[in-house]
Chains A and B, each alone.
Chain A
Amino acid sequence: MAKSSAIKDAEALLRSLRSAYTATPTNLKIIDVYILFSLFTGVIQVVYMAIVGSFPFNSFLSGVLSCIGTAVLAVCLRIQVNKENKEFKDLPPERAYADFILSNLVLHLVIMNFLG
Protein backbone atom coordinates (compact mmCIF):
# COMPACT_ATOMS: atom_id res chain seq x y z
CA MET A 1 0.00 0.00 0.00
CA ALA A 2 2.80 2.35 0.92
CA LYS A 3 4.54 1.58 -2.34
CA SER A 4 1.59 2.36 -4.54
CA SER A 5 1.07 5.65 -2.70
CA ALA A 6 4.76 6.57 -3.31
CA ILE A 7 4.30 5.87 -7.02
CA LYS A 8 1.16 7.97 -6.94
CA ASP A 9 3.10 10.81 -5.29
CA ALA A 10 5.82 10.61 -7.91
CA GLU A 11 3.26 10.66 -10.69
CA ALA A 12 1.60 13.70 -9.15
CA LEU A 13 4.98 15.42 -8.86
CA LEU A 14 5.86 14.73 -12.49
CA ARG A 15 2.46 15.94 -13.64
CA SER A 16 2.80 19.19 -11.73
CA LEU A 17 6.36 19.63 -13.10
CA ARG A 18 5.15 19.10 -16.67
CA SER A 19 2.26 21.50 -16.30
CA ALA A 20 4.61 24.08 -14.79
CA TYR A 21 7.12 23.51 -17.60
CA THR A 22 4.51 24.14 -20.32
CA ALA A 23 4.34 27.66 -19.01
CA THR A 24 8.05 28.18 -19.77
CA PRO A 25 8.75 30.56 -22.72
CA THR A 26 9.69 28.85 -26.00
CA ASN A 27 13.18 30.40 -26.22
CA LEU A 28 14.11 28.82 -22.88
CA LYS A 29 12.71 25.47 -24.08
CA ILE A 30 14.94 25.66 -27.15
CA ILE A 31 17.95 26.26 -24.90
CA ASP A 32 16.94 23.24 -22.77
CA VAL A 33 16.81 20.96 -25.80
CA TYR A 34 20.22 22.24 -26.84
CA ILE A 35 21.67 21.52 -23.34
CA LEU A 36 20.20 18.02 -23.31
CA PHE A 37 21.67 17.32 -26.76
CA SER A 38 25.18 18.36 -25.69
CA LEU A 39 25.08 16.46 -22.40
CA PHE A 40 23.84 13.34 -24.19
CA THR A 41 26.73 13.58 -26.70
CA GLY A 42 29.18 13.92 -23.79
CA VAL A 43 27.82 10.84 -22.02
CA ILE A 44 28.10 8.79 -25.24
CA GLN A 45 31.81 9.72 -25.49
CA VAL A 46 32.53 8.75 -21.89
CA VAL A 47 30.90 5.36 -22.46
CA TYR A 48 32.90 4.95 -25.70
CA MET A 49 36.16 5.80 -23.88
CA ALA A 50 35.35 3.26 -21.15
CA ILE A 51 34.97 0.57 -23.84
CA VAL A 52 37.80 1.46 -26.27
CA GLY A 53 40.37 2.88 -23.86
CA SER A 54 41.82 6.32 -23.33
CA PHE A 55 44.46 6.22 -26.09
CA PRO A 56 44.08 9.54 -27.90
CA PHE A 57 43.44 11.13 -24.54
CA ASN A 58 43.68 14.69 -25.84
CA SER A 59 40.98 13.92 -28.41
CA PHE A 60 38.77 12.43 -25.73
CA LEU A 61 39.27 15.46 -23.47
CA SER A 62 38.52 17.96 -26.21
CA GLY A 63 35.47 15.99 -27.36
CA VAL A 64 33.97 15.78 -23.88
CA LEU A 65 35.01 19.28 -22.87
CA SER A 66 33.41 20.73 -26.00
CA CYS A 67 30.13 19.13 -24.90
CA ILE A 68 30.45 20.28 -21.30
CA GLY A 69 31.58 23.75 -22.36
CA THR A 70 28.65 24.08 -24.75
CA ALA A 71 26.24 23.00 -22.03
CA VAL A 72 27.71 25.41 -19.49
CA LEU A 73 27.60 28.34 -21.91
CA ALA A 74 23.99 27.50 -22.81
CA VAL A 75 23.05 27.39 -19.12
CA CYS A 76 24.65 30.82 -18.67
CA LEU A 77 22.63 32.14 -21.60
CA ARG A 78 19.47 30.63 -20.13
CA ILE A 79 20.07 32.33 -16.78
CA GLN A 80 20.67 35.70 -18.42
CA VAL A 81 17.69 35.68 -20.78
CA ASN A 82 15.20 34.35 -18.23
CA LYS A 83 12.65 37.14 -17.57
CA GLU A 84 11.90 35.85 -14.09
CA ASN A 85 15.54 36.20 -13.08
CA LYS A 86 15.64 39.60 -11.38
CA GLU A 87 19.41 39.68 -11.12
CA PHE A 88 19.86 40.26 -14.86
CA LYS A 89 16.83 42.42 -15.47
CA ASP A 90 19.07 45.32 -16.59
CA LEU A 91 20.95 43.15 -19.08
CA PRO A 92 19.35 43.17 -22.54
CA PRO A 93 18.94 39.68 -24.12
CA GLU A 94 20.87 40.89 -27.20
CA ARG A 95 23.89 41.57 -25.01
CA ALA A 96 23.55 38.11 -23.36
CA TYR A 97 23.37 36.49 -26.78
CA ALA A 98 26.43 38.37 -28.03
CA ASP A 99 28.40 37.15 -24.99
CA PHE A 100 27.21 33.61 -25.72
CA ILE A 101 28.41 33.80 -29.35
CA LEU A 102 31.81 35.19 -28.37
CA SER A 103 32.38 32.57 -25.66
CA ASN A 104 31.40 29.80 -28.05
CA LEU A 105 33.84 31.02 -30.67
CA VAL A 106 36.67 30.99 -28.12
CA LEU A 107 35.63 27.55 -26.85
CA HIS A 108 35.60 25.96 -30.29
CA LEU A 109 38.90 27.57 -31.22
CA VAL A 110 40.51 25.93 -28.19
CA ILE A 111 38.78 22.61 -28.90
CA MET A 112 40.05 22.59 -32.51
CA ASN A 113 43.59 23.19 -31.29
CA PHE A 114 43.45 20.41 -28.74
CA LEU A 115 41.53 17.89 -30.81
CA GLY A 116 44.21 16.44 -33.08
Chain B
Amino acid sequence: MSRAPVILSFLLLAVLGNAFSPENPTDRKILVLLDDLSIKSSHSLYFQSLQTRGFDLDFKLADDPKIALQRYGQYLYDALILFSPTIDSLGGSLNAAAILDFVDSGHDLILAADASASDLIREIATECGVDFDEDQSAMVIDHTSFAVSDTEGDHTLIAGDDFIQSDVILGKEKIEAPVLFKGIGHSVNPANSLVLKVLSASPSAYSANPKSKLSTPPTLTGSAISLVSVVQARNNARVLISGSLSMFSNRFFRSGVQKAGSTINHEKSGNEQFVTEISKWVFHERGHLKAVNVRHHKVGEADEPSIYRINDDLEYSLEIYEWSGTSWEPYVADDVQVQFYMMSPYVLKTMSTDQKGVYYTSFKVPDVYGVFQFKVEYEKLGVTSLSLAKQIPVRPFRHNEYERFITAAFPYYGASFSMMGGFFLFSLVYLYHK
Protein backbone atom coordinates (compact mmCIF):
# COMPACT_ATOMS: atom_id res chain seq x y z
CA MET B 1 0.00 0.00 0.00
CA SER B 2 2.80 2.39 0.86
CA ARG B 3 4.35 1.87 -2.53
CA ALA B 4 1.55 3.51 -4.50
CA PRO B 5 2.39 7.12 -3.54
CA VAL B 6 6.07 6.51 -4.34
CA ILE B 7 5.21 5.21 -7.80
CA LEU B 8 2.78 8.05 -8.27
CA SER B 9 5.35 10.65 -7.34
CA PHE B 10 7.84 9.04 -9.72
CA LEU B 11 5.23 9.20 -12.46
CA LEU B 12 4.58 12.83 -11.63
CA LEU B 13 8.30 13.54 -11.72
CA ALA B 14 8.58 11.89 -15.10
CA VAL B 15 5.68 13.95 -16.45
CA LEU B 16 7.09 17.16 -14.99
CA GLY B 17 10.55 16.40 -16.29
CA ASN B 18 9.10 15.87 -19.71
CA ALA B 19 7.11 19.07 -19.54
CA PHE B 20 10.11 21.14 -18.51
CA SER B 21 12.57 19.68 -20.99
CA PRO B 22 13.23 22.37 -23.60
CA GLU B 23 11.82 21.59 -26.97
CA ASN B 24 14.42 20.74 -29.55
CA PRO B 25 13.71 21.81 -33.10
CA THR B 26 16.81 20.25 -34.65
CA ASP B 27 16.16 17.15 -36.72
CA ARG B 28 17.52 13.93 -35.25
CA LYS B 29 16.80 11.07 -37.60
CA ILE B 30 17.47 11.44 -41.30
CA LEU B 31 16.67 9.06 -44.14
CA VAL B 32 19.23 9.14 -46.95
CA LEU B 33 18.05 7.71 -50.28
CA LEU B 34 20.84 6.85 -52.73
CA ASP B 35 20.94 5.71 -56.35
CA ASP B 36 23.90 3.57 -55.66
CA LEU B 37 25.58 2.65 -52.37
CA SER B 38 28.92 3.84 -53.76
CA ILE B 39 27.67 7.40 -53.11
CA LYS B 40 27.91 6.55 -49.41
CA SER B 41 31.67 6.33 -49.72
CA SER B 42 32.20 8.94 -52.46
CA HIS B 43 30.28 11.52 -50.37
CA SER B 44 31.46 10.19 -46.98
CA LEU B 45 32.90 13.53 -45.76
CA TYR B 46 29.51 15.16 -45.97
CA PHE B 47 27.76 12.28 -44.22
CA GLN B 48 30.46 12.20 -41.54
CA SER B 49 30.03 15.89 -40.82
CA LEU B 50 26.32 15.25 -40.28
CA GLN B 51 26.98 12.23 -38.05
CA THR B 52 29.49 14.12 -35.90
CA ARG B 53 26.84 16.79 -35.38
CA GLY B 54 24.64 14.12 -33.85
CA PHE B 55 22.39 13.12 -36.72
CA ASP B 56 21.28 9.56 -37.09
CA LEU B 57 21.59 8.73 -40.80
CA ASP B 58 19.68 5.81 -42.26
CA PHE B 59 21.07 4.90 -45.70
CA LYS B 60 18.73 3.14 -48.12
CA LEU B 61 18.72 2.49 -51.84
CA ALA B 62 16.05 4.64 -53.45
CA ASP B 63 14.38 1.62 -55.05
CA ASP B 64 14.50 -0.49 -51.89
CA PRO B 65 10.94 -1.92 -51.62
CA LYS B 66 11.08 -1.71 -47.81
CA ILE B 67 11.56 2.06 -47.45
CA ALA B 68 8.76 3.91 -45.71
CA LEU B 69 8.57 7.43 -44.37
CA GLN B 70 5.78 6.76 -41.96
CA ARG B 71 4.26 3.93 -40.05
CA TYR B 72 0.82 4.02 -38.40
CA GLY B 73 0.53 7.70 -39.32
CA GLN B 74 3.76 8.60 -37.47
CA TYR B 75 6.76 9.81 -39.41
CA LEU B 76 9.83 7.70 -38.77
CA TYR B 77 12.26 10.42 -39.83
CA ASP B 78 12.72 14.14 -39.24
CA ALA B 79 14.35 14.84 -42.56
CA LEU B 80 15.06 13.31 -45.93
CA ILE B 81 18.14 13.53 -48.12
CA LEU B 82 17.44 12.58 -51.73
CA PHE B 83 20.79 11.81 -53.38
CA SER B 84 19.22 9.79 -56.16
CA PRO B 85 18.97 12.04 -59.21
CA THR B 86 18.30 9.33 -61.77
CA ILE B 87 15.63 7.34 -59.93
CA ASP B 88 12.36 7.06 -61.88
CA SER B 89 10.18 5.57 -59.19
CA LEU B 90 10.95 5.21 -55.53
CA GLY B 91 10.65 1.91 -53.72
CA GLY B 92 7.96 0.96 -51.26
CA SER B 93 4.94 3.22 -51.08
CA LEU B 94 7.07 6.29 -51.60
CA ASN B 95 6.28 8.68 -54.44
CA ALA B 96 6.46 12.41 -55.11
CA ALA B 97 3.17 13.07 -53.31
CA ALA B 98 4.39 11.20 -50.21
CA ILE B 99 7.58 13.27 -50.15
CA LEU B 100 5.62 16.50 -50.52
CA ASP B 101 3.29 15.41 -47.70
CA PHE B 102 6.41 14.82 -45.63
CA VAL B 103 7.48 18.42 -46.27
CA ASP B 104 3.93 19.69 -45.75
CA SER B 105 3.94 18.18 -42.30
CA GLY B 106 6.95 20.31 -41.38
CA HIS B 107 9.88 18.03 -42.20
CA ASP B 108 13.01 19.01 -44.07
CA LEU B 109 14.35 17.87 -47.42
CA ILE B 110 17.66 18.03 -49.22
CA LEU B 111 17.34 17.26 -52.91
CA ALA B 112 20.29 16.95 -55.24
CA ALA B 113 19.73 16.62 -58.97
CA ASP B 114 22.32 16.11 -61.62
CA ALA B 115 22.61 16.06 -65.38
CA SER B 116 19.96 13.64 -66.64
CA ALA B 117 17.77 14.10 -63.57
CA SER B 118 14.65 11.96 -63.65
CA ASP B 119 11.10 13.23 -64.06
CA LEU B 120 10.35 12.29 -60.45
CA ILE B 121 13.11 14.55 -59.11
CA ARG B 122 12.00 17.34 -61.48
CA GLU B 123 8.41 16.96 -60.30
CA ILE B 124 9.36 17.28 -56.63
CA ALA B 125 11.48 20.33 -57.45
CA THR B 126 8.68 21.92 -59.47
CA GLU B 127 6.29 21.46 -56.56
CA CYS B 128 8.81 23.32 -54.39
CA GLY B 129 8.83 26.27 -56.81
CA VAL B 130 11.99 25.45 -58.73
CA ASP B 131 12.09 24.54 -62.43
CA PHE B 132 15.07 22.58 -63.76
CA ASP B 133 16.03 23.09 -67.39
CA GLU B 134 13.67 20.92 -69.42
CA ASP B 135 16.41 19.76 -71.77
CA GLN B 136 17.53 16.42 -70.30
CA SER B 137 21.10 16.74 -71.58
CA ALA B 138 21.61 20.40 -70.61
CA MET B 139 24.23 21.50 -68.10
CA VAL B 140 25.28 24.88 -66.82
CA ILE B 141 28.16 26.20 -68.92
CA ASP B 142 30.16 29.29 -68.11
CA HIS B 143 33.05 30.40 -70.29
CA THR B 144 34.23 33.17 -67.98
CA SER B 145 33.89 31.93 -64.41
CA PHE B 146 34.68 28.25 -64.76
CA ALA B 147 37.15 26.50 -62.49
CA VAL B 148 40.59 26.26 -64.03
CA SER B 149 41.75 22.68 -64.48
CA ASP B 150 44.64 20.93 -66.22
CA THR B 151 42.59 20.04 -69.26
CA GLU B 152 40.67 22.70 -71.10
CA GLY B 153 37.33 20.83 -70.70
CA ASP B 154 33.93 22.09 -71.68
CA HIS B 155 33.62 24.70 -68.90
CA THR B 156 30.84 22.85 -67.09
CA LEU B 157 32.81 22.82 -63.84
CA ILE B 158 31.78 26.18 -62.49
CA ALA B 159 33.37 28.18 -59.67
CA GLY B 160 30.38 29.90 -58.15
CA ASP B 161 30.76 32.75 -55.70
CA ASP B 162 27.50 34.67 -56.04
CA PHE B 163 26.09 33.78 -52.61
CA ILE B 164 22.98 35.07 -50.93
CA GLN B 165 23.74 37.81 -48.39
CA SER B 166 22.44 36.14 -45.27
CA ASP B 167 24.35 35.25 -42.12
CA VAL B 168 21.45 33.11 -41.00
CA ILE B 169 21.56 30.80 -44.01
CA LEU B 170 25.30 30.69 -44.72
CA GLY B 171 26.76 31.33 -41.28
CA LYS B 172 28.67 34.29 -39.94
CA GLU B 173 31.99 33.22 -41.43
CA LYS B 174 32.44 34.47 -44.97
CA ILE B 175 32.95 31.79 -47.61
CA GLU B 176 36.26 32.82 -49.18
CA ALA B 177 36.83 30.14 -51.81
CA PRO B 178 34.41 29.67 -54.72
CA VAL B 179 32.12 26.66 -54.70
CA LEU B 180 32.66 23.99 -57.35
CA PHE B 181 29.49 23.09 -59.19
CA LYS B 182 28.88 20.67 -62.02
CA GLY B 183 25.32 19.97 -62.91
CA ILE B 184 22.07 21.43 -64.13
CA GLY B 185 20.66 24.85 -63.53
CA HIS B 186 17.18 25.83 -62.51
CA SER B 187 15.06 28.91 -62.50
CA VAL B 188 13.07 30.09 -59.54
CA ASN B 189 9.37 30.59 -59.95
CA PRO B 190 8.88 34.37 -59.61
CA ALA B 191 5.38 33.85 -58.20
CA ASN B 192 6.80 31.87 -55.31
CA SER B 193 8.11 34.24 -52.65
CA LEU B 194 9.31 31.41 -50.40
CA VAL B 195 12.14 30.26 -52.69
CA LEU B 196 15.53 31.90 -52.32
CA LYS B 197 18.50 31.62 -54.65
CA VAL B 198 21.43 30.77 -52.41
CA LEU B 199 24.03 30.29 -55.12
CA SER B 200 23.39 32.05 -58.43
CA ALA B 201 25.27 31.57 -61.65
CA SER B 202 27.38 34.40 -63.04
CA PRO B 203 25.88 36.70 -65.72
CA SER B 204 27.84 34.86 -68.43
CA ALA B 205 26.45 31.41 -67.64
CA TYR B 206 23.91 29.56 -69.74
CA SER B 207 22.27 26.19 -69.72
CA ALA B 208 22.79 23.97 -72.80
CA ASN B 209 24.05 20.62 -73.93
CA PRO B 210 27.88 20.90 -73.79
CA LYS B 211 28.38 18.14 -76.36
CA SER B 212 26.37 19.62 -79.21
CA LYS B 213 26.60 22.86 -81.10
CA LEU B 214 24.29 25.60 -79.84
CA SER B 215 21.76 26.14 -82.64
CA THR B 216 19.04 28.02 -80.77
CA PRO B 217 19.49 30.55 -77.95
CA PRO B 218 19.46 28.82 -74.55
CA THR B 219 16.30 29.25 -72.49
CA LEU B 220 18.12 29.76 -69.21
CA THR B 221 20.86 32.39 -69.18
CA GLY B 222 22.83 34.62 -66.83
CA SER B 223 22.20 35.18 -63.18
CA ALA B 224 18.59 34.10 -63.62
CA ILE B 225 20.06 30.61 -63.34
CA SER B 226 20.07 29.39 -59.79
CA LEU B 227 22.55 26.66 -58.92
CA VAL B 228 21.39 26.08 -55.35
CA SER B 229 18.07 27.26 -53.91
CA VAL B 230 16.36 26.94 -50.58
CA VAL B 231 12.70 27.06 -49.65
CA GLN B 232 11.33 27.87 -46.25
CA ALA B 233 7.70 26.82 -46.32
CA ARG B 234 4.99 28.57 -44.34
CA ASN B 235 5.08 25.73 -41.81
CA ASN B 236 8.83 26.40 -41.40
CA ALA B 237 9.82 23.21 -43.20
CA ARG B 238 13.09 23.79 -45.04
CA VAL B 239 14.06 22.45 -48.43
CA LEU B 240 17.40 22.63 -50.19
CA ILE B 241 17.50 22.04 -53.93
CA SER B 242 20.83 21.69 -55.67
CA GLY B 243 21.41 21.06 -59.36
CA SER B 244 24.58 19.15 -58.64
CA LEU B 245 25.09 15.98 -56.63
CA SER B 246 28.88 16.11 -57.04
CA MET B 247 28.88 19.41 -55.15
CA PHE B 248 28.53 17.27 -51.98
CA SER B 249 31.26 14.79 -53.01
CA ASN B 250 34.59 14.17 -51.28
CA ARG B 251 36.40 14.94 -54.55
CA PHE B 252 34.95 18.46 -54.71
CA PHE B 253 35.39 18.97 -50.94
CA ARG B 254 39.11 18.24 -51.18
CA SER B 255 39.91 19.75 -54.54
CA GLY B 256 41.55 23.11 -54.85
CA VAL B 257 39.94 25.79 -56.93
CA GLN B 258 41.11 28.61 -59.11
CA LYS B 259 38.50 30.71 -60.79
CA ALA B 260 39.18 31.57 -64.42
CA GLY B 261 40.68 35.04 -64.73
CA SER B 262 41.70 35.10 -61.07
CA THR B 263 45.27 34.62 -59.87
CA ILE B 264 44.27 33.34 -56.43
CA ASN B 265 44.54 29.58 -56.19
CA HIS B 266 42.55 28.34 -53.20
CA GLU B 267 43.95 25.20 -51.59
CA LYS B 268 40.51 23.96 -50.84
CA SER B 269 37.19 24.73 -52.48
CA GLY B 270 34.39 26.42 -50.57
CA ASN B 271 32.16 23.38 -50.99
CA GLU B 272 32.66 21.89 -47.54
CA GLN B 273 31.98 25.14 -45.72
CA PHE B 274 29.08 26.06 -47.99
CA VAL B 275 27.36 22.69 -47.86
CA THR B 276 27.93 22.24 -44.12
CA GLU B 277 26.66 25.69 -43.22
CA ILE B 278 23.60 25.37 -45.40
CA SER B 279 22.78 21.94 -43.98
CA LYS B 280 22.94 23.47 -40.50
CA TRP B 281 20.28 25.89 -41.66
CA VAL B 282 18.17 23.22 -43.36
CA PHE B 283 18.22 20.98 -40.31
CA HIS B 284 17.17 23.84 -37.99
CA GLU B 285 20.47 24.23 -36.17
CA ARG B 286 20.27 27.92 -36.99
CA GLY B 287 17.61 30.52 -37.58
CA HIS B 288 14.83 28.80 -35.68
CA LEU B 289 12.96 31.22 -33.43
CA LYS B 290 10.48 30.77 -30.66
CA ALA B 291 8.49 33.42 -28.88
CA VAL B 292 7.46 32.93 -25.26
CA ASN B 293 6.12 34.90 -22.31
CA VAL B 294 3.85 37.22 -24.24
CA ARG B 295 2.67 39.72 -21.65
CA HIS B 296 0.63 42.88 -21.67
CA HIS B 297 -0.73 45.06 -18.91
CA LYS B 298 -1.66 48.61 -18.10
CA VAL B 299 1.20 50.96 -17.25
CA GLY B 300 1.81 50.75 -13.52
CA GLU B 301 0.02 47.44 -13.09
CA ALA B 302 1.34 43.91 -13.23
CA ASP B 303 -1.72 41.79 -13.96
CA GLU B 304 -2.99 41.12 -17.43
CA PRO B 305 -6.48 42.60 -17.78
CA SER B 306 -9.23 40.81 -19.64
CA ILE B 307 -10.33 44.03 -21.31
CA TYR B 308 -8.84 47.44 -22.04
CA ARG B 309 -10.56 50.81 -22.15
CA ILE B 310 -10.00 53.27 -24.98
CA ASN B 311 -7.03 55.60 -24.33
CA ASP B 312 -5.51 53.27 -21.73
CA ASP B 313 -1.71 53.24 -21.66
CA LEU B 314 -0.42 49.70 -21.89
CA GLU B 315 2.86 47.82 -21.96
CA TYR B 316 3.51 44.80 -24.17
CA SER B 317 6.46 42.46 -23.99
CA LEU B 318 7.57 39.10 -25.25
CA GLU B 319 10.74 37.04 -25.32
CA ILE B 320 12.27 35.68 -28.51
CA TYR B 321 14.91 32.97 -28.49
CA GLU B 322 16.89 31.41 -31.29
CA TRP B 323 17.90 27.75 -31.32
CA SER B 324 21.66 27.46 -31.62
CA GLY B 325 21.73 23.71 -32.18
CA THR B 326 22.26 22.96 -28.51
CA SER B 327 20.38 25.60 -26.55
CA TRP B 328 18.01 28.51 -26.85
CA GLU B 329 19.98 31.76 -27.13
CA PRO B 330 18.47 35.26 -26.87
CA TYR B 331 17.59 36.58 -30.29
CA VAL B 332 18.86 40.10 -30.89
CA ALA B 333 17.31 42.28 -33.58
CA ASP B 334 16.01 45.82 -33.83
CA ASP B 335 13.14 45.22 -36.22
CA VAL B 336 10.55 43.27 -34.25
CA GLN B 337 7.24 45.05 -34.48
CA VAL B 338 3.92 44.65 -32.72
CA GLN B 339 0.58 45.60 -34.19
CA PHE B 340 -2.59 46.52 -32.37
CA TYR B 341 -4.90 45.22 -35.00
CA MET B 342 -8.59 45.31 -35.83
CA MET B 343 -9.13 44.77 -39.59
CA SER B 344 -6.04 46.96 -40.05
CA PRO B 345 -3.25 47.92 -37.69
CA TYR B 346 -4.26 50.90 -35.54
CA VAL B 347 -0.87 50.88 -33.81
CA LEU B 348 2.37 49.59 -35.34
CA LYS B 349 5.40 49.91 -33.09
CA THR B 350 8.97 48.70 -33.29
CA MET B 351 9.86 47.13 -29.99
CA SER B 352 12.91 47.92 -27.90
CA THR B 353 15.09 45.09 -26.69
CA ASP B 354 17.30 44.54 -23.68
CA GLN B 355 19.66 42.38 -25.84
CA LYS B 356 18.75 39.40 -23.66
CA GLY B 357 15.80 38.26 -25.71
CA VAL B 358 13.15 40.47 -24.13
CA TYR B 359 11.29 42.83 -26.45
CA TYR B 360 9.02 45.48 -24.98
CA THR B 361 7.11 48.56 -25.91
CA SER B 362 4.30 50.71 -24.58
CA PHE B 363 1.57 52.59 -26.37
CA LYS B 364 -1.84 54.16 -25.94
CA VAL B 365 -4.91 52.19 -26.92
CA PRO B 366 -6.55 54.03 -29.84
CA ASP B 367 -9.77 55.96 -29.36
CA VAL B 368 -11.75 53.17 -31.03
CA TYR B 369 -13.51 50.32 -29.28
CA GLY B 370 -13.98 46.78 -30.55
CA VAL B 371 -12.17 43.47 -30.52
CA PHE B 372 -8.47 44.03 -31.17
CA GLN B 373 -5.50 41.70 -31.49
CA PHE B 374 -1.91 42.05 -30.41
CA LYS B 375 -0.10 40.75 -33.48
CA VAL B 376 3.55 39.99 -34.03
CA GLU B 377 4.27 38.97 -37.61
CA TYR B 378 8.00 38.56 -37.87
CA GLU B 379 9.28 37.39 -41.23
CA LYS B 380 12.93 37.85 -41.96
CA LEU B 381 15.19 36.31 -44.56
CA GLY B 382 16.30 32.91 -43.36
CA VAL B 383 14.78 32.78 -39.91
CA THR B 384 11.57 30.93 -39.20
CA SER B 385 8.57 33.19 -39.30
CA LEU B 386 6.88 34.14 -36.06
CA SER B 387 3.18 34.73 -36.11
CA LEU B 388 1.53 35.51 -32.81
CA ALA B 389 -1.94 36.86 -32.27
CA LYS B 390 -3.69 37.48 -29.00
CA GLN B 391 -7.20 38.76 -28.90
CA ILE B 392 -8.21 41.52 -26.51
CA PRO B 393 -11.43 43.56 -26.38
CA VAL B 394 -11.40 47.33 -25.96
CA ARG B 395 -14.42 49.01 -24.36
CA PRO B 396 -15.53 52.65 -24.44
CA PHE B 397 -15.67 54.86 -21.34
CA ARG B 398 -18.30 53.95 -18.82
CA HIS B 399 -20.75 56.81 -18.41
CA ASN B 400 -19.21 57.76 -15.06
CA GLU B 401 -15.66 57.70 -16.45
CA TYR B 402 -16.13 60.79 -18.59
CA GLU B 403 -14.53 64.04 -17.48
CA ARG B 404 -16.73 66.13 -15.21
CA PHE B 405 -16.81 69.95 -14.92
CA ILE B 406 -14.73 70.72 -17.98
CA THR B 407 -13.21 74.21 -17.70
CA ALA B 408 -13.95 75.02 -21.33
CA ALA B 409 -17.64 74.35 -20.70
CA PHE B 410 -18.03 76.74 -17.74
CA PRO B 411 -19.70 79.47 -19.86
CA TYR B 412 -22.32 76.93 -20.96
CA TYR B 413 -22.96 75.86 -17.37
CA GLY B 414 -23.19 79.55 -16.40
CA ALA B 415 -25.64 80.25 -19.21
CA SER B 416 -27.89 77.33 -18.23
CA PHE B 417 -27.96 78.36 -14.58
CA SER B 418 -28.46 82.03 -15.43
CA MET B 419 -31.45 80.95 -17.55
CA MET B 420 -32.85 79.19 -14.48
CA GLY B 421 -32.13 82.18 -12.26
CA GLY B 422 -33.60 84.45 -14.92
CA PHE B 423 -36.73 82.31 -15.01
CA PHE B 424 -37.09 82.64 -11.23
CA LEU B 425 -36.49 86.39 -11.24
CA PHE B 426 -38.83 86.85 -14.21
CA SER B 427 -41.57 84.98 -12.36
CA LEU B 428 -41.19 87.23 -9.33
CA VAL B 429 -41.20 90.44 -11.37
CA TYR B 430 -44.00 89.28 -13.65
CA LEU B 431 -46.27 88.23 -10.79
CA TYR B 432 -45.59 91.14 -8.41
CA HIS B 433 -45.23 94.18 -10.66
CA LYS B 434 -47.84 96.88 -10.02
Interface residues of B in 367-426 (CB under 8 A from A): 404-406, 408-409, 411-413, 415-416, 418-420, 422-423, 426
Tell yes or no: B427 within 8 A of A by CB.
yes
Overall SS of chain B's interface: helix
User: Contact at A56–B406, with CB atoms within 8 Å?
Assistant: yes
Whole-angstrom distance between the alpha carbons of A62 and B409 in the complex?
11
Which segment of A1-9, A10-18, A44-52, A82-90 sits at the interface?
A44-52
Whether B420 lies near A108 (C-beta < 8 A) is yes
CB of B430 within 8 A of CB of A111, answer no
A contact residues around B423 at 8 Å (CB): 70, 104, 108
Which size bracket describes the interface of A in this complex?
20 to 34
Whose C-beta in chain A lies nearest to the C-beta of B425?
Answer: A34
A63 touches B415 (CB 8 A): yes
Of the candidates A30, A41, A52, A115, the one whose C-beta lies within 8 Å of that of B408 is A52
CA distance A69 to B415 in the complex (A): 12
How far is it, in angstroms, between the C-alpha of A27 and the C-alpha of B419 when the chains are bound? 19
Question: Is B434 part of the contact surface with A, judged by Cβ < 8 Å?
Answer: yes
Q: Chain A residues with Cβ under 8 A from B172's Cβ?
A: none
Neighbour of B412 across the interface among A34, A63, A112, CB < 8 A: A63
* Residues of A with C-beta under 8 A to B6: none
Q: How far is the CB of A73 from chain B (nearest CB, A)?
A: 9
Which of chain B's residues have a CB closer than 8 A to the CB of A30? 426, 429-430, 433
Least distance between A45 CB and chain B CB atoms (Å)? 5
**Chain A positions 45-95 with a Cβ under 8 Å from a chain B Cβ:** 45, 48, 52-53, 55-56, 59-60, 62-64, 66-67, 70, 74
CB closest chain-A residue, reference B426: A34
Give the chain A neighbours of B412 by CB distance below 8 A: 45, 56, 59-60, 62-64, 115
Contact across chains for B419 and A59 when beta carbons are under 8 A apart: no
* Cα of A44 to Cα of B433 in the assembled complex, Å: 29
Contact B433–A111 (Cβ < 8 Å):
no
Given A70-B419, A116-B404, A116-B405, also A27-B413 (CB < 8 A): no
Q: Which residue of B lies closest to A104 (CB)?
A: B423
Given the complex of chains A and B, what is the CA–CA distance between A30 and B429 in angstroms?
8
Range class of the B interface residue count: 20 to 34
Given A44-B415, A59-B413, A26-B433 contact (CB < 8 Å): yes
Q: How far is the CA of A48 from the CA of B404 in the complex (A)?
A: 20
Q: Are B409 and A31 in contact, with the CB atoms below 8 A?
A: no
**A101: nearest residue on chain B (CB-CB)?**
B427
A97–B422 Cα distance when bound, in Å, is 16
Q: Report yes or no: B430 in contact with A59, Cβ–Cβ below 8 A.
A: no
Write the chain A residue with the least CB distance to B402. Answer: A116
Q: A34-B422, A34-B426, A101-B427 are in contact. Are A41 and B404 (CB under 8 A)?
A: no
Contacts A34-B426, A37-B422; is A63 near B408 (CB within 8 Å)? no
- From A41, A55, A60, A64, contact of B418 by CB (8 A): A41
Query: Which B residue sits closest to A48, measured CB to CB?
Result: B411
Cβ–Cβ contact A27 & B415, under 8 A? no
* Chain A interface residues toward B at CB < 8 A: 26-27, 30-31, 34, 37-38, 41-42, 44-45, 48, 52-53, 55-56, 59-60, 62-64, 66-67, 70, 74, 97, 101, 104, 108, 111-112, 115-116
B positions within 8 Å CB-CB of A: 404-406, 408-409, 411-413, 415-416, 418-420, 422-423, 426-427, 429-431, 433-434
Q: Enumerate the 5 nearest inter-chain pairs by beta-carbon distance, A residue then B residue, closest first.
A: A63-B412, A59-B409, A56-B409, A59-B412, A63-B415
21 residue pairs from A and B, CB less than 8 Å apart: A30-B430, A41-B419, A44-B415, A45-B412, A45-B415, A48-B411, A52-B408, A56-B409, A56-B412, A59-B406, A59-B413, A62-B412, A62-B416, A63-B411, A63-B413, A67-B415, A67-B419, A115-B413, A115-B416, A116-B405, A116-B409
Q: With contacts A34-B426, A63-B409, A116-B413 known, what are 14 further pairs, Cβ within 8 A?
A: A55-B408, A55-B409, A56-B408, A63-B411, A64-B412, A70-B419, A97-B430, A104-B423, A108-B416, A108-B419, A108-B423, A115-B412, A115-B413, A116-B404
